[in-house]
Structure 1
Amino acid sequence: MKERIKETDQGIQGELDVQYFDRMQRHLRDKGLIATDEIVRSGIAGGLALELGPGPGYLGLEWLRKTDGSRLRAVEISRNMIVVAQKNAREYGLASRVEYTLGRVEEIPFGDEVFDAVFSNGSLHEWSEPQRAFHEIYRVLKPGGRWYVSDLKRDMNRVVVWFMKISVRPVEMRPGLQTSIDAAYTRRELEGILAGTPLKSGQVSENPFGLSIRGTK
């Protein structure tokens, strides 16, 4: 197992890179390969939710589309990504139910016990201080609120990595996939991070592609 190599804690900032990432995420959405259904199955099926690291917004927008009476706030570190997410929200016809805010997961810009749920997919490996971010998730959740975080894992089987790379569209995103895998955590590392937070009782699950954690405050 090679050592973890930090990718970035600034998100995807350049306009061209944001466009490539938007195209990749749209392709995954069209293939049914984003984690919306898993989030709903975890019990996050309505109310006011917070998404961390929404990127171009497809995960949260699909969640809004599949849930009734739900509303979404999202914290994103890239201003250019927020512009794209807002455009996508308008295309979905959901702009009135979602709000994107510039910020960091280590300092979530909302008050205590505001949200019924918090979820994130694919951004954990970019969090500069993951323990602090998990403390923040706990802080903004209402008592009884649910949370779900998923990401890639670094100890992925090489055949799985190869399959993912040849499936990535556009091809310009393939190098970024490898750097994201190199920056991801193993299950043991993630359990160690959680152990120092109020969310230490979260249930960690593993599949061939990555890790997920879910729990209730």
Structure 2
Amino acid sequence: MQRVLEPEVMDTAEEADEYDAMDHTEPNRGFVARLVELGAGGSMLDVGCGPGHVAVMVCDEIAEGSVLGVDLAQTMLTHAERHRSKSPHAERLSFRLADAKGLPFADGEFDTVYSNTILHHIPDPRPFLSELRRVLKPGGVLLVRDLFRPDDIERADELVALHAAGANPNQQALFHASLCAAFTPNELRALADESGLADAEIVVDTDRHMSLQLRRGA
């Protein structure tokens, strides 16, 4: 199946509200567990933080460290600030507007850099991946997780029926579009190699998720 692009920024109030309301608890828990396994901590950058669900969960699970979340959609950041204000770890959380393809941070500024399911929103993710490498300290933890594209539309339909059966039609359509916009593991390997991340590992995590990762000290 050929890749079908979807909008890079979900910045309408309706899109942000719909995404914030979707239940991503199970995959988010798996994502945070992988961060812990990789040795994440210290100064952590959440790139494409969306409504802040993962950033809040990271602070719940990793006591030593702080999270700065960035996103290109102000409507998403409005939700993130609301979730931050309710978190017992609010002082270790912050959010700001920034473009993942041109991060406003110094080289090697963060101990941990992670991104959850924004890769498929970017038409050419090589600048994005290069930026993640640039702002990561040598020996730091990197985790980029995203959906991977099914072989055909029938498999995409199956995954929506399996994992979004309880979602409303708009949410199911968002999930389906994201599957169709995603890369394959082989495509991600090639993109990583071209973006200064040849040393990063590719892992197929679930029937729909893959990760690009670097362990602490790697």
> Is TM > 0.5 for Structure 1 vs Structure 2?
yes
Q: Measured at CA, do residues 23 and 170 of structure 1 come closer, stay the same or move farther in structure 2, by a change above 3 Å? A: farther
Q: Distance in 2 between matches of 1:68 and 1:94?
A: 9
Query: What are the equivalent positions in structure 2 for 1:71-86 lying under 5 Å apart?
Result: 71-86=66-81
Query: What are the equivalent positions in structure 2 for 1:20-169 lying under 5 Å apart?
Result: 20-24=18-22, 27-29=23-25, 32-34=26-28, 35-44=31-40, 46-155=41-150, 157-158=155-156, 159-167=158-166, 169=167
TM-score under structure 2 normalisation? 0.90
2:11 maps to: 13
2:176 maps to: 178
Q: Distance in 1 between matches of 2:16 and 2:128?
A: 24
Amino acid across the alignment from 1:203: E
Q: Matched residue of 2:76: which SS?
A: helix
Query: What are the equivalent positions in structure 2 for 1:177-216 lying under 5 Å apart?
Result: 177-206=175-204, 207-216=206-215
The structural deviation recorded for 1:214 is 0.4
TM-score under structure 1 normalisation? 0.90
Q: Distance in 2 between matches of 1:21 and 1:152?
A: 16
Amino acid across the alignment from 2:118: S
Instruction: Report sequence identity in percent.
Output: 24
Q: Distance in 2 between matches of 1:79 and 1:160?
A: 30
Structure 1 segments unaligned to the other structure (5+ residues): none
The structural deviation recorded for 1:199 is 0.9
Q: Matched residue of 1:191: which SS?
A: helix
1:4 maps to: 3
CA contact (8 A) 1:23 1:170 kept: no
Q: Distance in 2 between matches of 1:94 and 1:19?
A: 23
Structure 2 segments unaligned to the other structure (5+ residues): none
Q: Distance in 1 between matches of 2:96 and 2:124?
A: 19
The structural deviation recorded for 1:128 is 3.5
Deviating above 6 A after TM superposition, structure 1's stretches of 4 or more consecutive aligned residues are none
The structural deviation recorded for 1:170 is 4.1
Amino acid across the alignment from 1:201: D
Q: Distance in 2 between matches of 1:33 and 1:80?
A: 23
Count of equivalent residues: 209
Amino acid across the alignment from 1:208: D
Q: Matched residue of 1:166: which SS?
A: coil
